[in-house]
Structure 1
Amino acid sequence: MNLKPLKGQHHVSAITANAKRNYEFYTKTLGLRLVKKTVNQDDTSVYHLFYADERGNPGTDLTFFEIPNAGNTYHGTNSISATSLRVPTDDSLTYWKNRFAELGVDHDEISNATGRATLAFRDFEGQRLILVSDQNNKGVAGGHPWDKSPVPAEHAVRGLGPVLLTVGQLEATTNILTQVMGFREKGTYNEGDQQVFVYETGEGGTGAEIHLQERADLPVERPGRGSVHHVAFRVENEEELKRWAELLKELRIPNSGFVERYYFRSVYFREPNGILFELATDGPGFEGDEPFESLGEKLSLPPYFEDRREAIEARLKPLDTKE
């Protein structure tokens, strides 16, 4: 089947136990815009918060499900073990290092181990994040920072960068990435004594890379607050997504089939080590039920949930996002 290459990362979805503190960290500390406050469509008692560039352009979304009783994450293999966020230049990392020190954010030193300047840090729940410089990047374009962000535009986050997968069996995941999903091997680097393999798709660059390491010595990760739920990859449109669903079916790879998410359309499946992948369309986007100027300020529900709004709101703890 002749499919177009995947275009890169679409979004990454993670878990928080505290929506209020999560909102404060990702908007006030990291300077992202909350472009959608909605619910998990598979469990409407749970908030689903979307942080992104000014309008939630595909490839810029870092999203969170609030699960108040989520326990600690016990790190291990078969996991999405780090999410990168793109910043414009190497100098931006110095800005962020100083900002993190001033605000008490747990962070490492600036590193060049990947071949690009990076700065690893953790949020208040231990979510593993990495800022990556786009100074020498060639490939998928980044997003456009919100002009009301507390972070200066010249250093603001531009979108998602490489996503690091840690697996118990390298070959199985490599085969899915290269033989099914169309990724190509780009190179390797060493992180400490661990070799990391780099794969890219589409135009390549920071917004279209998966970094993969094998850690057969680790137990399987037990996810909780501060863990990542899934990574989604960009598909041009609904027609192309349905062709991907057909391909997965032909290959007898168990999958969700076509799923309507209103803001985009999706297909979900697990790669052989159990990590959840999603294929998601670039559109329709986040402005179908809210104007650009007030994105994220109210609880948005897809039309098929509107008749249940009162009951849904009654189960959610109020979250003020109009600040």
Structure 2
Amino acid sequence: MELKGIHHVSAITANAAGNFEFYTKTLGMRLIKKTVNQDDVSVYHLFYGDDIGTPGTELTFFELPRAARTHEGNNSISEISLRTASDAALEYWKKRFQEENVEHGEIEIRYNRKALPFRDFEGQRLVLISEENENGESGTPWKKSPVPAEFSILGLGPVYLTVPDLEPTHKVLTDLLGFRREGSYLSKNYGQSEIVVYASGKGGPGTEIHLEERKDLQRERLGRGGVHHVAFRTADQAELQEWIKKIENTNFINSGLVDRYYFKSLYFREPNGILFELATDGPGFTADEDLSQLGESLALPPFLEQRRSEIEGKLKPLETKVKEQ
């Protein structure tokens, strides 16, 4: 029983229309599912990924229109990374960000990979990394993307966690979830503090957690531009049930099995308060939509379908039909 890597990361936006504009038109990711937050059906839940919605490529956003900005700090998922195929792709993206007035830094080296940090229009902390010398799984470029295929975003890379006490999170990652400590590197931004690298499954950037201990920060106050949780991949529901048994034998309060229709899940918080999810690879995002039309209409799981008129009446229209390039 082994986690296969990052399944998805879920963040918060206060502006679904602006979010759609940035992630599909600026970053060239595909909207693979336009649905609602199953815990609050009055707001959107948007899923972006590769051309076919491959697990490990999915960056999702809950829309909370009244959300204040995130006050960055400790006990947080402090940065999301996205993978590109080559070092040359980062040069393309740096130029694109300059042309699109996207806030960004300089190309740098992180854990022997080239990286380009940037922020979205709400201050979401993101970084593009090159997987030029990697052998991990990659997504399929979106055929209708405004970004050339050779420079496309190919999936999620390492997820960065910032905590006041590294050891409890280290134990959950290694002793409970089976991650391996792969190495470490020094942060260039925070006084040369050490960032510890953990990997699962076959390894590579799409399986990694990068963990930094910071005793100088206050606890993060989550809002727009912040990250809600990170999910890890399990093969199927049978394996997820084994994980549920394992976690129930700990002292962690957990959700038990949750049916999200597109995947099955379990949620729990590790000791530093970061929300972890374990999610199955299937059934996937073509369970209720044809591959060619993913994300174009409001998709509701069967248990919400009878409330469609009520739900649609409370949502602001969001035009997501993709025009031919």
TM-score grouping bracket, smaller chain normalisation: over 0.9
How far is 1:91 from its partner? 0.5
Letter of the aligned partner of 1:123 in structure 2?
Answer: D
* Residue 156 (str. 1) matches residue 152 (str. 2): yes
Partner of 1:170: 166
Q: Deviations over 1:116-145 (max 9, x none)?
A: 000000000000000010101133x01101
User: Matches of residues 41-52 of structure 1 in structure 2 within 5 Å?
Assistant: 41-52=38-49
Q: Can you list the C-alpha shifts for 1:91-118, whole angstroms capped at 9, x where unaligned?
A: 0000000000011000000001321000
| Displacement after TM superposition at 1:13 (Å) | 0.2
Alpha-carbon deviation of 1:211? 0.1
How far apart, CA to CA, are the structure 2 residues paired with 1:190 and 1:282?
A: 33
Matched with 2:309 is 310
Task: Give the structure 2 partner of residue 131 of structure 1.
Answer: 128
Distance 2:110 2:37 in 1: 37
Deviations 1:281-319 (A, max 9, x none): 000001111101110000000000011111111111110
Letter in 1 for 2:321: K
Q: How far apart, in 1, do the equivalents of 2:167 and 2:251 lie?
A: 19
The Cα of 1:188 is off from its aligned counterpart by: 0.4
Q: SS at 2:157's partner residue?
A: strand
Cross-structure match for 2:60:
63
Q: Deviations over 1:6-48 (max 9, x none)?
A: 0000000000000000000000000000000000011111100
- The CA deviation at 1:72 is 1.1
CA distance in 2, matches of 1:206, 1:248: 25
The amino acid that maps onto 1:39 is V
Deviations 1:135-180 (A, max 9, x none): 01133x0110111100001010000000000001100000000000
The residue identity in structure 2 corresponding to 1:249 is: E
Q: Which residue of 1 aligns with 2:12?
A: 15
1:246 aligned residue = 245
Q: Where does residue 278 of structure 1 map in the other structure? A: 277
**Aligned-partner Cα distance in 2 for 1:124–1:247:** 40
Q: Distance in 2 between matches of 1:60 and 1:80?
A: 17
CA distance in 2, matches of 1:142, 1:240: 23
Aligned to 2:183: 187
**2:110 maps to 1:121:** no
Task: Report 1:219-298 matches (<5 A).
Answer: 219-298=218-297
CA distances 1:183-210 after superposition (whole Å, capped 9, x unpaired): 0100000112121000000000010000
Q: Following TM superposition, by how much is the alpha carbon of 1:266 offset from its aligned partner in structure 2, in angstroms?
A: 0.1
Could you tell me which residue of structure 1 aligns to residue 108 of structure 2? Answer: 111
In the alignment, residue 32 of structure 1 is paired with which amino acid? M
Cα displacement (A) at 1:321? 0.4
Counterpart of 1:24 (choices 10, 21, 25) is 21
Superposed structure 1 runs of 4+ greater than 6 Å apart: none
Percent of matched pairs sharing the same residue: 60
Q: Distance between the aligned counterparts of 1:188 and 1:122, measured in 2?
A: 24
**Partner secondary structure for residue 269 of structure 1:** strand
